[in-house]
Chains A and B, each alone.
Chain A
Amino acid sequence: METLGNLAFGLGVALTWQNLIYCFVGCFLGTLVGVLPGIGPVATVAMLLPFTFNLGPAPALIMLAGIYYGAQYGGSTTAILVNIPGESSSVVTTLDGHQMARNGRAGPALGIAAIGSFIAGCIATLVVAYFAPPLAEVALKFGPAEYFSLMVFGLIAAVVLARGSVLKAIAMVCFGILLGLVGTDVNSGTIRFGFGAPELTDGIGFVALAMAFFGITDVVANLEHTDKADVYRERIGSVLPSLHDLRTCFWSIARGTALGSILGILPGGGALLASFAAYMFEKKIAKPPRSFGEGDIRGVAAPESANNAGAQTSFIPMLTLGIPSNPTMALMIGALMIQGIAPGPQVMTERPELFWGLVASMWVGNLMLLVLNLPLIGLWVKLLAVPYRLLYPAIFVFCCIGVFTVDNKIFDIYVLAALSAVAYVLLKLDCEPAPLILGFILGPMMEEQMRRAMMINFGDVTIFLTRPLSAAFLIAAAILMLLIALPSLRAKREVALQE
Chain B
Amino acid sequence: MKIRSPKDFWAGLFFVTIALGFIGLSYQYGMGNMHRMGPALFPTLVGVLLAGLGLLIALRAFAVDGQPVPPFHARPIIISLVAISLFGLALAHGGLIAAVAVLVIISAAASRESKVLETVALIAALIAFSVAVFVWLLGLPIPLWPEA
Residues of A whose CB lies within 8 Å of any CB of B are 50-51, 53-54, 165, 167-168, 170-171, 174-175, 177-178, 181, 185, 187-188, 190, 192-193, 216, 219-220, 223-224, 226, 387-390, 392-394, 396-397, 399-401, 404-405, 408, 410-411, 413-414, 416-417, 420-421, 424-426, 428-431, 443, 446-447, 450-451, 454-455, 458-461
**Does A220 lie within 8 Å of B80, measured CB to CB?**
yes
Give CA–CA (A397, B46) in the complex, Å: 35
Interface residues of B in 106-139 (CB under 8 A from A): 107-108, 110-115, 118-119, 122, 126, 130, 134, 138-139
Decide if B80 touches A396 in the complex (CB within 8 Å).
yes
Closest A residue by C-beta to B10 = A429
> In this assembly, does B146 line the interface, its C-beta being within 8 Å of a C-beta of chain A?
no
In the complex, the answer to whether A178 meets B22 with C-beta atoms within 8 Å is yes
Q: Contact between A389 and B108 (Cβ–Cβ < 8 Å)?
A: yes
Q: Given the interface contacts A177-B46, A220-B77, A405-B142, does A393 sit within 8 Å of B54 by beta carbon?
A: no
State whether B87 touches A400 (Cβ < 8 A): yes
Q: Is the CB of A401 within 8 A of B134?
A: yes
Q: Can you list 10 A-B contacts (CB < 8 A)?
A: A170-B53, A178-B46, A219-B80, A400-B84, A405-B140, A405-B142, A420-B81, A421-B77, A454-B37, A459-B34
Contact B35 A167 (CB under 8 A): no
A450 to B43 alpha-carbon distance, docked (Å) = 12
Is the Cβ of B50 less than 8 Å from the Cβ of A396? no
In the complex, the answer to whether A193 meets B22 with C-beta atoms within 8 Å is yes
Q: Do A396 and B103 touch across chains, with their CB atoms under 8 A apart? A: yes
- What total of chain B residues lie within 8 Å of the partner, measured CB to CB? 71
The complex places the Cα of A165 from the Cα of B81 at a distance, in Å, of: 28
A8 to B146, CA, bound (A): 51
A414, B88: Cα distance in complex, Å:
7
Q: Which residues of B contact A390 (CB under 8 A)?
A: 118, 122
Residue of B nearest to A415 (CB): B88
Return the chain B residue nearest A167 by Cβ: B57
A426-B118 Cα distance, complex, nearest whole Å: 33
B residues less than 8 Å from A193 (CB atoms): 22, 25, 43
Q: A168-B8, A429-B14 are in contact. Are A53 and B140 (CB under 8 A)?
A: yes
Contact of B38 among A168, A188, A443 (CB under 8 A): A188
What is the chain A residue whose CB lies nearest that of B67? Answer: A430
Q: Which of B34, B49, B92, B111 contacts A174 (CB 8 A)?
A: B49
Q: Tell me if B57 and A396 are in contact (CB < 8 A).
A: no
Contact in complex: B30, A192 (CB < 8 Å): no
Q: Which of B7, B46, B76 contacts A224 (CB 8 A)?
A: B76
**Cα separation A53 to B7 with both chains bound (whole Å):** 40
Query: Which residues of chain A are near B80, meaning CB under 8 Å?
Result: 216, 219-220, 223, 396, 420
Q: Are B104 and A397 in touch, CB under 8 angstroms?
A: yes
**Please, which residues of chain B bring their CB within 8 A of the CB of A185?**
29, 39
Contact of A413 (CB < 8 Å), options: B35, B49, B84: B84
